[in-house]
Structure 1
Amino acid sequence: MNIGLTLLGQSLVFLIFVAFCMKYIWPVLKSAMTERQQAIAQGLVAAEEAERKLGEAESGAEEERAKARAEAAQIIEQARQQANQMIEDAKGNARAEGARLLEAAQAEIDQEVNRARESLRRQVGALALKGAEQVLEESIDPSRHERMLERLAGEL
């Protein structure tokens, strides 16, 4: 066998093999690689989109947390103000009630003092009348002397 003829035969078979591969196998491989490349590109785009949405969601969540904190602080402040107002109202009511009770007690004391004075006036009048009766040892007109004693008691 001649080496040149063998090389020529092998080269011819190799060229047929390459042509066959280029005609039938290469397009399938190329389309598979193109599909894979597109899938990878779509995955990268989807990953970038997901990352962008995640950033938006995080910023939105941070805004919501800030709003919630501000609202909670406002509610707490309103509760404090309402509690302080209730305390002040209760203090005012207690002061008013204390003043009312003090006035009622003072009025009752004044009434008792007036009753005691009136009772003392009557007793003093009766004692004076008895004393005058005993001094004069005669019958005294009680109605006339009663008026006189009332006038005297009024002057006291």
Structure 2
Amino acid sequence: MNIGFTLIAQAIAFAALVWIIATKIWPPLLNAIEERQKKIAEGLAAADRSQKDLAQASEKVDELVREARTKANEIIEQAHGRANQILEKAKDEAVELANRQKAAAEDEIATAVFRAKEDLRKQVSVLAVAGAERLIKREIDANAHKALLDELATEI
């Protein structure tokens, strides 16, 4: 064998191999690599968008939590105010009821005092009549002298 012929044959075989790789294998391989790069770029872009969306959602959640806390505090303040109003109203009603009961009790006491005075006047008039009867030793007709007895009762 001739070394020159072997080298030329090997060079032709190598050139054919390079040509086959460059035309048949390399373009699909580059296309696959480019598609993979595009998918990776899209994935990174989607990840960035997701991070931005997550940050926005987190800010929105924080804002909603702040609003909810503010509203909760307002509701609590309103509830305290309403409770104070109810307590004040109940106190006012209790004071009013106590005043009415006191007035009713005073009226009852005044009525009882008046009745007691009337009973006492009647008893005094009966005693006065009995005393006068003993003094003059004769019986006085209570019906006949009713006007006199009433006048005597009012004076007492």
TM-score, length basis structure 2? 0.90
Q: CA deviation at 1:2?
A: 4.0
Identity percentage of aligned residues: 42
Matches within 5 A, 1:2-151: 2-143=2-143, 145-151=145-151
Deviates more, 1:60-69 or 1:5-14: 5-14
The whole-number CA distance in structure 1 between the counterparts of 2:16 and 2:42 is 38
Q: CA deviation at 1:153?
A: 2.6
RMSD of aligned alpha carbons: 1.7
Amino acid of the structure 2 residue aligned with 1:124:
V
SS of residue paired to 1:30: helix
The whole-number CA distance in structure 2 between the counterparts of 1:143 and 1:55 is 109
Q: CA deviation at 1:69?
A: 1.1
Unaligned runs of 5+ in 2: none
Deviating above 6 A after TM superposition, structure 1's stretches of 4 or more consecutive aligned residues are none
The whole-number CA distance in structure 1 between the counterparts of 2:37 and 2:18 is 25
Deviations 1:27-82 (A, max 9, x none): 11011011101110110111111111111111111111112111211221222112
TM-score, length basis structure 1? 0.90
Amino acid of the structure 2 residue aligned with 1:28:
P
Deviations 1:83-138 (A, max 9, x none): 22111111111111111111111111111110000011011111111111111123
SS of residue paired to 2:138: coil
SS of residue paired to 1:142: coil
Deviates more, 1:29-38 or 1:89-98: 89-98
Aligned partners of 1:125 and 1:153 also within 8 Å: yes
Number of positions where the alignment pairs a residue of Structure 1 with one of Structure 2: 156
